[in-house]
Amino acid sequence: MSKAQIDQVFEKLKESGDKAFISYIMAGDGGLDGLKHQIKTLEAAGVDIIELGIPFSDPVADGPVIQQAGIRALDAGVSLRKILDELKKIKDDINVPIVLMTYINPVLNIGYQAFAEDARNSGVSGVILPDVPFEEEDEISTHLGDNDIALVRLVTLTSDEGRIRELCEGAEGFLYAVTVKGTTGGRTSFGEDTYELLRKIKGIADVPVCAGFGVSNREMAEALGDHCDGVIVGSKIVEMLHQGEAEGIKNLIPEKSSAVK
């Protein structure tokens, strides 16, 4: 895989008039030996891109459900290096782009260049680093770019238009629009400020815009999708996998026109 695979997913969806459905899961929650099965389950449900979380001891952007999933993975001895090794073993069986969501410390532990090379060899198409400011991304983004991996930037509700324009300039893969002022976790609704943010980013960005944080059902996904190019669902899917309710994941995904007979 490479960042071109992300572009191809969005191009195909645009042609059919559909929105991307991106699923977040915590790598190693339930053991790394189950990672391939989880990924194939998501593929079968209709997920377009998988955001693969890396367990970390101080996850500042994660809400309670994902924090607990990370603790379970850490307790099982899971690390970024082990996850990359597992992905390398199973990459030929994966048919959707994989985007890693990790904090910078595990990357620093491996080293920027070694991480980027290992990620490429493991079939990774993109990386999200929520604790790396835009002003400090150059060092890691250079190594990722050299290995054909997109660095996906986040835009928040508190970003003003000037900041949004900075983040949109040279953006790769897609822009991750954070829909709430806070951490991940299910919400019951979104305010007008969320939809206004999405419209504003869409009016500036040259890459797809996807909305995440707080999406917990199909109706919310559809409502957000009306204002952007895709949605990201995390906590709800992490919870369903942990509780053995994977069969219900497909009910979260808005029906695509290509699936209509």
Which residues are known to be catalytic? 51, 62
Instruction: Assess contact for 237 and 38: CB atoms under 8 A.
Output: no
Give the C-alpha separation, 29 to 31, whole Å: 5
**Terminal CA-CA length for the chain:** 30
CA distance 215 to 202: 19
| Local structure of 209: helix, strand or coil | strand
E-only strand ranges, the chain: 20-26, 49-53, 98-101, 124-128, 150-152, 154-155, 175-178, 209-212, 230-233
Q: How far, in Å, CA of 234 to CA of 244, rounded?
A: 16
> What is the spatial distance between Cα 67 and Cα 63, in angstroms, rounded to a whole number?
6
